[in-house]
Structure 1
Amino acid sequence: MKQLIYISFFLFAILSFGQEVVVSGYVTDKKNGEPIAGAKVLVNKTQNGITTDFDGKYSLKTTLNDTLVFGYPGMKIQKVKVDKQKINIELEEGEEIKVEFGPPYYPKTKKLQVTTIVTKKEIEKANNPKYNFKKNAKNNVFVIFVSELTSYNLNKEDLEFEQKYNVKYSLIGSYKNDYLKKYNKLTFKHLKKKYKKSWLKEIRKDAVGLKKE
């Protein structure tokens, strides 16, 4: 009986090793808990990777026992072994992505240079308010950044506003004030065009860059 148990365990270990899975989760700032858009998630020593979306979410196909590498400019790199399908990561200030995501993870080839350029462009896009607004608008998602929102203080009026005007209140996160103002300006322009001035009477007063007309 013991031999059968050992054999079963051994076979299970063999089958599990290299099993293909889809790993997903969120990358957030350890300091304030806010999502990090544009963070890079790579399978260690490969070119298989992805960047987090507007909400800091990622989803990546890999195999069990692989190692995922998480990084973002100005933050410390984190490595996590894949032993489950949900992995959330908190990054903290430290070394930058350009240092850690070069060799030895990639071979020194011309292909590496192309990959590095693409990665920088992805990061730039993730921090471009106009690009993000257009991307979200295509999916009928409209965001308003506010300065004092937490996951616990959305009141009835806030929820009604979100539903009535098809918008989503969001915290300022790690974005700079200039980014927030430019993004909100695009959302305000959309609301003005679609709903005239009615939304101005109901919006939260701490919306970044809000100017009464």
Structure 2
Amino acid sequence: MIKIYIIIFLGLASFQAVCQNEVDVTEVMCWGRICELTEKQLNKCGPIKLAFATSSSEAEQLANEDIANGTIFLLLAGGISPTIIATDAAFERKYDIYFNEFGCTGPEYELVTAYNSVVFEYLTQQYGKGWYKEIRKDVVGLKDWKKKD
């Protein structure tokens, strides 16, 4: 029982230390790892803008901008509580992307699918088809995209 209290205490202490960081870098928990993204990167990333997109071509453009900026996301639809899979962190590091779950509400399915399709193409161009076997299977649009491939 004491081990549990120690783990909780250390976890809260490290969380507080991260929150008190005053550097111009916002540390955000992106699934299994701490991502260091600047506030500018976070505010200009595609997932934030996707909520205001009105067409698939606009969603694709947002994905292309994220690729050009080096802040690439794979978008997930979720529920009340996020689903974290043990292999997420390794996948994110290996392929230099970030998983982003919208939760209960988010952009329209077709917009998320269009965004992710561009990222799937990018991953295939950069890494071949090996990422297929490593990616989590609930990424929005993955099944449909694989059928086209």
Structure 2 residue 69 is the aligned partner of structure 1 residue 139: yes
Greater mean deviation of Cα atoms: 198-207 or 165-174: 165-174
Distance in 2, matches of 1:205 and 1:182, equals 17
SS of the equivalent of 1:156 reads coil
The amino acid across from 2:68 in the alignment is K
Q: Which runs of 5+ in 1 are unaligned?
A: 1-51, 58-72, 74-122
Shift in Å at residue 190 of structure 1?
Answer: 0.4
Answer with 1 or 2: which has the greater Rg. Answer: 1
Percent identity over the alignment?
Answer: 27
Letter in 2 for 1:165: Y
**Aligned structure 1 segments of 4 or more residues deviating by more than 6 angstroms:** none
Secondary structure of the residue that 1:133 maps to in structure 2?
helix
What aligned pairs does 1:30-179 form with structure 2 within 5 A after superposition?
53-54=44-45, 56=48, 124=53, 128-148=58-78, 153-172=83-102, 173-179=105-111
Code of the residue aligned with 2:130 in structure 1: it is S
Whether the aligned pair in 1 keeps the contact of 2:75 and 2:112 (CA below 8 Å) is: yes
Contact 2:63/2:116 (<8 A) preserved: no
Structure 1 pair 150–156 and aligned structure 2 pair: CA distance change class (3 A) = farther
SS at match of 1:144: strand
Question: Could you say if the C-alpha distance between residues 177 and 124 of structure 1 is closer, same or farther in structure 2, counting changes exceeding 3 Å?
Answer: closer
1:35-65 deviations in Å (ceiling 9; x for gaps): xxxxxxxxxxxxxxxxx644549xxxxxxxx
Structure with a larger share of its residues in helix: 2
TM-score (norm. length: structure 1): 0.39
State the one-letter code of the partner of 2:127: Y
Please report the TM-score for the alignment, with normalisation by the length of structure 2: 0.54
Distance 1:204 1:137 in 2: 20
Partner of 2:132 in structure 1?
200
Gaps of 5+ in 2: 1-42
Provide, for residues 96-118 of structure 1, a one-character-per-residue CA deviation record: whole Å limited to 9, x for no partner: xxxxxxxxxxxxxxxxxxxxxxx
CA RMSD of aligned residues (A): 3.1
Q: Assess, with a 3 A threshold, how the Cα gap between structure 1 residues 143 and 150 changes in structure 2: closer, same or farther.
A: farther
